Chain A
Amino acid sequence: MSELATLPPFKTRAGEALADGWLKTAIDRTTGTARTKRAAIVGQWPDFQVARQRGKAIKDHVVANLGHYLAEFERNAIASGAHVHYASTADEAADLVVRLCKEAGARSVTRSKSMLGEEIGLPHALAEAGIERVETDLAEHIVQLAGERPSHIIWPALHKTREQISELFKAAHDDPHGEETPEAMAASARRFLRVKFLEADIGISGANFLVADSGSVCTVTNEGNAEMTTTPPRVHIVTAGIEKLIPSAAHAATMLRLLVRSATGAALTQYTTFHTGPKRPGDLDGPDAFHIVLVDNGRTRMLADPALKDMLRCIRCGACMNHCPVFNQIGGHAYGGTYPGPMGAVLTPVFDGLEKSRDLVGACTLNGRCREVCPVDIPLPTLIKGWRDRSWREGLEPATMRSGVKAWVFLSTHPRLYRAVGRLGSLALRILGRGNGRIRSLPLAGGWTQFRDMPTPDGPSFLASRAARQRKKP
């Protein structure tokens, strides 16, 4: 469960985000580049849609045979010398990882970015256990120093300015940068984290894919921090959702091509690594022990639910949020859950309950861009609508919304009354906007008119003009 329950209401969070002038620039800069680069590389591949449908079919095949592939992965991972563990819930998973750390006598743990780690609350659990946690992805390092949460699944620190990052680094690094450039700041982080990499007792990573026929864990990074997290320490722990499975390395080719293009617009990440078991006899480096913690946390519930099953295809590329008009206005923090944007609107109700997250499901225009760019064709708007239906059926919508919709249903099923009310409303709006043709405030719509004026209705209503046109026809 995320921190959602402890945060102010969504409307407050969104309002704060909208009032943050820098945030909008930061989001535009990062997601704008991501959109341009993705469009360019996808544009160079005329048959991208064919590959996309193949990727979808591969994930659907895995989801339809999840038990088979999970058992196969477990068998092969154990054969490679890995220890395989299971956790039904987020808390169970976090407890398990903390227990493994304690059993290994760990004082310091390095972590390479994993959204599942965030999902199970691992940062918090390690802190409670008194174990030093060092985030090694540069953005996660920034977010950790700031004491914040990631605001994007690919660029967790996109909300920070370089000035803010500079201050954080100067306060935390022993030998900080002199020049105020991204290059000098990254070099400062390199010096600071290099020591941490080499001194850590345990390295914790996530998984982009779990390869069933070899028991391998695949990670992709551009920084190289995954390998530097998983190689020097005595113990490597992987935390992964059970939906990350793919049948074989051969199937990874299509999935990697789709994932990286959709995430960053590159053909492949700088480092694509398959981790299979611990250090082998004769190996010159690598951990002595390799643990894989496989996490359910709502995934089997999604598997049993036809309205959510499609979401198990998600490969966490972030394209949906880069292309979401709502995310691009409010950014990731306002969503409150582990995953922001459209995929977060679908997943957060699974993890935190619909009652606490029904606002997220409402914060969607259903424009459908997220589905268009989804590399595995997840019908995100349909899944979001599914949650809205459920929120209505379960009586979670507030009384004003319920009575409003009921009034609307009554009106729209009584055409004469509908037209009469329409005429009356139109007349009222015209009177309100008399003079300059703009309405500055409206009863029941204060939230809308606070930031903009409403124009007065122009001419007769749609129904009236349609009726007039039909009368003119011979």
Chain B
Amino acid sequence: MSARQDIFGRIAQAIGPARPPAEIAAEAAALLADPEAVRPPTPRGDLGTRFMDAVTRLPPGASVEQIDEMSALPAAVARRLAAMGLEPALKIQPTPDFQALDFQAVGIGLRDAVDDRTSLSLAEAAIAETASLVIRSGPHMPILDAFLPLHHLVAVRRRDILPYLDDFLDHADLARRRNVVIVTGPSGTTDIEGSLVIGVHGPATLHIFVVDEG
């Protein structure tokens, strides 16, 4: 007998044969009932404000600003790089959303290398509860662009901000892509005598642009 058969055999022996799938599904659905009862309390206010407030509660290295429209992104990125004392160059996510933007016009050089440098990504959603950004792998998003750089810049549209973690996970459609990454602040560790160090493997800074267009 294979290990697979053995394991399923021992499970059936321990708890009996599986119940009808519909019964199990109904019970599983009931465990999602009344989501308000099992959510942590969050401050009132509009989603954009709630999200930006939540970013201030993240570990150091996380920051957020608001811009009026996507076309204002290159200039905002240029200002940000200058404010951080970084060279005006970065890798831009190959997403159609960024294709119309002219970064060179604001003096930003486009790079392919990300290792310990800077990258710019677009999050498909953000979560106000936890100040999280959702990044999904695919033909327009190499996952390593969120991990290899030392500085990660992420834009997210205000209309893509969701109130709670479950608002995203309920419709996450995980099977569609290889990776869904929920990013909540820059890379950090407390493994050396418990002191918090930011930027251990991944980015040391995470700067978020909330894009206020419709």
Contact assessment for B11 and A303 in the assembled complex, using a CB-CB cutoff below 8 Å: yes
Which residues on the A side are within 8 Å of B170 (C-beta)?
249-250, 253
Considering the complex of A and B, which 3 residue pairs feature the smallest CB-CB distances, nearest first?
A224-B202, A304-B14, A300-B10
User: CA of A65 to CA of B166 in the docked complex: distance in angstroms?
Assistant: 23
Which residues on the B side are within 8 Å of A157 (C-beta)?
191-192
Which residues on the B side are within 8 Å of A224 (C-beta)?
147, 187, 200-203
* B82 beta carbon closer than 8 Å to chain A: no
* B45 beta carbon closer than 8 Å to chain A: no
* Residue in A closest to B206 when the chains form the complex, CB atoms: A270
**Can you list 6 A-B contacts with CB-CB less than 8 angstroms, sorted by A residue number?**
A70-B8, A92-B3, A137-B191, A267-B40, A269-B184, A276-B180
What is the total number of residues of chain B having a CB less than 8 Å from a CB of chain A? Answer: 76
Contact assessment for A50 and B38 in the assembled complex, using a CB-CB cutoff below 8 Å: yes
Question: Given contacts A76-B175, A249-B172, A271-B182, is CB(A44)–CB(B41) below 8 Å?
Answer: yes
Question: Given contacts A161-B193, A272-B184, is CB(A303)–CB(B15) below 8 Å?
Answer: yes
User: CA of A30 to CA of B37 in the docked complex: distance in angstroms?
Assistant: 32
* B96 beta carbon closer than 8 Å to chain A: no
* A108 beta carbon closer than 8 Å to chain B: no
Total of A-B residue pairs, C-beta within 8 Å: 267
* B12 beta carbon closer than 8 Å to chain A: yes
Contact assessment for B183 and A270 in the assembled complex, using a CB-CB cutoff below 8 Å: yes
Residues of B within 8 A of A (CB): 2-4, 6-8, 10-15, 17-19, 21, 24, 27-28, 31-32, 37-41, 59, 94, 115-116, 129-130, 132, 137-139, 141-144, 146-148, 164-166, 169-170, 172, 174-175, 177-195, 197, 199-203
Residues of A within 8 A of B (CB): 26, 29-30, 33, 44-48, 50-51, 54, 57-58, 61, 63-68, 70-71, 76, 79-80, 85-88, 92, 136-139, 142, 155-158, 161-162, 165, 182-183, 185-187, 189-190, 193-194, 197, 211, 214-216, 222-225, 227-228, 231-232, 242, 247-254, 256-257, 264, 267-280, 282-286, 294, 296, 300-301, 303-304
User: CA of A256 to CA of B190 in the docked complex: distance in angstroms?
Assistant: 20
Contact assessment for B7 and A190 in the assembled complex, using a CB-CB cutoff below 8 Å: no
Contact assessment for A61 and B28 in the assembled complex, using a CB-CB cutoff below 8 Å: yes
Contact assessment for A68 and B138 in the assembled complex, using a CB-CB cutoff below 8 Å: no
User: CA of A194 to CA of B182 in the docked complex: distance in angstroms?
Assistant: 22
Question: Given contacts A155-B191, A214-B175, is CB(A223)–CB(B200) below 8 Å?
Answer: yes
Given A194-B201, A257-B165, A267-B184, 10 other A-B residues pairs in contact with their CB atoms under 8 A: A29-B193, A138-B189, A225-B201, A227-B181, A250-B169, A251-B32, A276-B174, A284-B141, A285-B144, A304-B10
The smallest beta-carbon distance between B197 and chain A, in angstroms, is 4
Contact assessment for A278 and B201 in the assembled complex, using a CB-CB cutoff below 8 Å: no
Contact assessment for A88 and B181 in the assembled complex, using a CB-CB cutoff below 8 Å: no
Contact assessment for B137 and A86 in the assembled complex, using a CB-CB cutoff below 8 Å: no
Contact assessment for A232 and B144 in the assembled complex, using a CB-CB cutoff below 8 Å: yes
